[in-house]
Amino acid sequence: MLIFQVSISTWLTSGADLHNADLTKTNLTNVDFYDADLHDAYLIDTNLQGAHLSGAYLSGADLSGANLRGANLWITKLPGVRLRDTNLIEAHLIGANLSGAHLSGANLRYAIIVSIQFYSVTLNEETDFLEAIIDDSNFIDHISKFTKKVPEKINNKRKLRLKLEQRGLTESYSEKILKLSILPEK
């Protein structure tokens, strides 16, 4: 059953309860799903470019083929989420729980991935992390077992700060990321 087939661009749904909702192929560009409950939702081929999903609960949701380019996924709960062939270019996965997530074929180029949980993440040779900023060398070692599309390791907060500056992030935004990072100062 399809609930929405409309454009809901910049629609405000902060804190909404949309668990089990079918939002397949919906345009949700720049939507505010802050703290929303989207567990077990269907967001297949949905456009979530620039969406604000901080604190959202997406456990078991299906976002296969979705466009999450530039999405904000701070402290987002994504265990068991299906992100197959999903566009996560330039997405910010900060403090996100990706345990059990399916990322086969996902494109995470230029994503910022800091202080995540990644137990039992499913990847394949098509999963792309090139030019991503990742603060956990163990995660990079893990993804290296599945794909050659891996970024260079960052070994301290000084180097992480430099990488964030090169992306043009504001100093205050970068400082928030650095506070959550597991990296040593030097």
Long-range contacts of 160-165 (CB under 8 A, 24+ apart): 160/114, 160/133, 160/135, 163/133, 164/112, 164/133
> Quick check: is 125 in a domain?
yes
Cβ neighbour number for residue 164 with a 10 Å cutoff = 22
What is the C-alpha to C-alpha distance for residues 101 and 105, in angstroms, rounded to an integer?
A: 12
**Residue 161 in 3-state DSSP?**
helix
Tell me what pLDDT residue 37 has. Answer: 95
pTM: 0.92
> Quick check: is 86 in a domain?
no
> Quick check: is 146 in a domain?
yes
Per the structure, the count of domains in the chain is 1
> Consecutive sets of 10 residues in the chain, 186 residues long: mean pLDDT of each?
44 76 95 94 97 96 98 97 98 97 98 96 97 97 96 96 96 96 92
Tell me what pLDDT residue 13 has. Answer: 65
Give the DSSP H/E element, type plus range, for residue 112: strand 112-114
Tell me what pLDDT residue 15 has. Answer: 78
Range of the domain at 96: 92-152
Long-range contacts of 57-60 (CB under 8 A, 24+ apart): 57/19
**Helix 171-180 crosses helix 157-166 at what angle (to 10 degrees)?**
150
> Quick check: is 124 in a domain?
yes
> Quick check: is 147 in a domain?
yes
> Quick check: is 131 in a domain?
yes
What is the C-alpha to C-alpha distance for residues 55 and 62, in angstroms, rounded to an integer?
A: 17
> Quick check: is 168 in a domain?
no
Tell me what pLDDT residue 78 has. Answer: 96
> Quick check: is 135 in a domain?
yes
Q: Which of 71, 54, 62 is CA-nearest to residue 19? A: 62
